[in-house]
C-alpha cells in the first residue's frame, strides 16, 4: 500500500474562503475535501494517510516558516508519495502547491505531484522541477483532474516509467529525451514541411515559445492637451487596502479617485505588493505612482490634465490570463472617459 500525504488550502478543506486565507498549517488524519474522490480512485493501491491544510495568504506571506511547518507534519506520516492540489487557476494556491511539492521532494526524497491550469503562475515557476497534471481553469474540472492525478500518482508511487506529457496528461517540462525514430531527421522534416504547405495538421518535434506581439500606438499628437491616466502593477492603494487586493496572485484590481489630490502621502496611501520591500513605496507612494510630478507638469502646462481615477493591481505572481482581463477592462473604461495616454508603472 502506497502511503500518501495530501496538501490542500483552506477553501478545499471547507474552512472558509478569503477571510480564512491566513490560517496556519494544520494536519488531519485521512482524506479531506477532494482527497475523498482521489482516495477512491486509488482503488486500494494507495491510501491518503493524512491531509495538510494551510491558508493561501499565510503560506505565501510566510514562505520559509510555512515550508518548515509543513515538512515536519509530512515527515510524521512517513509517506511514499506527496500530492498537492489540484489548484486549477487559483494563483496563490498554485504557487503554494508548487513550492511545498518541490520542498518535500528535496527534503524528504520522495516522489511528488501537483496539478493546476497551465496559466497558473505556479505552473510556470515549477514545471521544470515537478510533474504538474494539467487541469481546467476552475473547480468545474475536478472530475476530469482527479483520475489523471490518481493514474500518474500510482505510477510515481510504484516507480514506473512516466511517459510523455501528452500520454500522461502533465504540463510539458521542457526536458528533452533522446529516442530512436523509425525515419531519419531529414525525411521527417520534409514530411512536416509538405504537410505545412498543404495546410494539413502536423506535430513539430521542436516546439518554439509563442510571444505576444503588440504593435505600438501612434505617438500623442499634442501632449499639452493630453489627458493622462496612471495605471500601476506596483500595488499602490488607499491606506488600509479597502478592496483587499492580494499581495500575490491578485484576483482583482482597484479603481481609486485622485481628483484634487496634489500628491500621495504615507498617511493616505500604501502598497499592497508582496514581491518587493515596501518601505520606500510606503514612505513615499509617489515613487511608484508619480501623482506629484504629474501635478507639477499639469500646473506648468506640459500636459493637459490627469485623469481623476488611477487603476492598480499587484503583478507579483498574477496569472497572465488575469492580467489580460484586467487590462482589457481598464482600457475600456479609459477610452470611455476620453483618456489620451496612459503611464503604466511597475516596481
- pLDDT mean over 35-61: 95
DSSP 82-101: EEE---TT-HHHHHHHHHHH
- pLDDT mean over 275-288: 93
Contact (Cβ atoms closer than 8 angstroms) between residue 223 and residue 302: yes
pLDDT above 80 (res 177): no
Cis peptide leading into 86, omega within 30 of 0?
yes
- pLDDT mean over 262-283: 93
- The per-residue pLDDT for 324 is 86
- pLDDT mean over 267-293: 94
Q: Which letter does DSSP use for residue 78 in this model?
A: -
- The per-residue pLDDT for 178 is 79
The pLDDT-based confidence of 130 (bands split at 50, 70, 90) is very high
- The per-residue pLDDT for 176 is 74
Other C-beta atoms within 10 Å of 145: how many?
A: 26
- The fold of the 2-168 domain, in CATH, is Rossmann fold (3.40.50)
- The per-residue pLDDT for 164 is 87
Grid coordinates given for 323: 492580467
Task: Give the residue among 263, 222, 64, 40 at the shortest CA–CA distance from 149.
Answer: 40
pLDDT above 80 (res 248): no
Residue pLDDT, tens place only, 100-122:
999 999 999 999 999 999 988 88
Residue pLDDT, tens place only, 64-93:
999 999 999 999 999 999 999 999 988 889
Residue pLDDT, tens place only, 182-240:
899 999 999 999 999 999 998 888 777 777 788 888 999 999 999 999 999 999 999 99
Grid coordinates given for 20: 480564512
CA 239 to chain CA mean position, Å: 26
Domain boundaries, the chain: 2-168, 223-345
Contact (Cβ atoms closer than 8 angstroms) between residue 60 and residue 92: yes
- pLDDT mean over 34-58: 95
- The per-residue pLDDT for 227 is 97
Rounded Cα gap, residues 102 and 313, in angstroms: 28
- The per-residue pLDDT for 23 is 94
Looking at the chain, the whole-number percentage of residues with pLDDT higher than 70 is: 100
Rounded Cα gap, residues 20 and 56, in angstroms: 9
pLDDT above 80 (res 144): yes
- The per-residue pLDDT for 49 is 97
Residue pLDDT, tens place only, 293-336:
999 999 999 999 999 999 999 987 777 778 888 999 999 999 99
| Angle between helix 63-76 and helix 91-108 axes, rounded to 10 deg | 60
pTM over 0.85: no
**Rounded mean pLDDT of the chain?**
92
Amino acid at each position: 500500500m502506497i502511503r500518501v500525504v495530501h496538501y490542500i488550502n483552506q477553501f478545499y478543506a471547507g474552512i472558509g474562503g478569503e477571510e480564512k486565507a491566513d490560517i496556519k498549517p494544520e494536519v488531519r488524519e485521512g482524506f479531506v475535501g477532494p482527497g475523498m474522490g482521489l482516495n477512491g480512485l486509488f482503488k486500494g493501491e494507495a491510501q491518503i494517510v493524512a491531509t495538510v491544510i494551510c491558508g493561501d495568504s499565510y503560506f505565501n506571506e510566510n514562505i520559509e516558516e510555512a515550508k518548515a511547518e509543513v515538512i515536519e507534519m509530512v515527515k510524521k506520516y512517513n509517506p511514499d508519495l506527496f500530492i498537492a492540489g489540484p489548484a486549477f487557476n487559483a494563483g496563490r494556491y498554485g504557487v503554494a502547491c508548487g513550492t511545498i511539492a518541490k520542498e518535500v521532494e528535496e527534503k524528504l526524497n520522495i516522489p511528488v505531484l501537483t496539478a493546476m491550469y497551465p496559466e497558473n503562475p505556479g505552473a510556470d515557476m515549477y514545471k521544470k522541477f515537478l510533474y504538474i497534471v494539467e487541469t481546467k481553469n476552475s473547480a468545474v474540472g475536478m472530475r476530469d483532474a482527479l483520475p489523471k492525478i490518481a493514474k500518474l500518482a500510482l505510477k510515481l508511487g510504484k516507480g514506473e516509467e512516466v511517459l510523455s506529457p501528452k500520454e500522461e496528461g502533465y504540463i510539458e517540462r521542457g526536458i528533452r529525451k533522446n529516442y530512436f525514430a523509425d525515419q531519419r531527421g531529414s525525411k521527417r522534416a520534409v514530411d512536416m514541411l509538405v504537410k505545412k504547405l498543404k495546410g494539413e495538421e502536423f506535430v513539430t518535434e521542436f516546439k518554439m515559445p509563442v510571444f505576444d506581439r503588440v504593435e505600438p500606438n501612434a505617438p500623442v499628437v499634442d501632449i499639452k492637451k493630453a489627458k493622462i491616466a496612471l495605471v500601476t502593477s506596483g500595488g499602490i492603494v488607499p491606506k488600509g487596502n479597502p478592496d483587499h487586493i492580494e499581495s500575490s496572485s491578485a484576483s482583482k484590481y482597484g479603481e481609486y479617485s485622485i481628483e484634487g489630490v496634489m500628491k500621495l502621502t504615507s498617511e493616505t496611501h500604501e502598497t499592497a505588493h508582496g514581491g518587493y520591500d515596501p518601505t520606500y513605496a510606503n514612505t513615499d507612494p509617489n515613487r511608484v505612482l508619480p501623482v506629484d510630478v504629474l501635478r507639477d507638469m499639469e500646473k506648468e502646462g506640459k500636459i493637459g490634465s490627469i485623469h481623476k481615477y488611477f487603476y492598480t493591481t499587484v503583478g507579483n505572481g498574477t496569472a497572465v490570463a488575469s492580467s489580460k482581463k484586467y487590462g482589457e477592462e481598464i482600457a475600456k473604461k479609459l477610452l470611455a472617459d476620453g483618456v489620451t495616454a496612459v503611464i503604466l508603472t511597475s516596481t
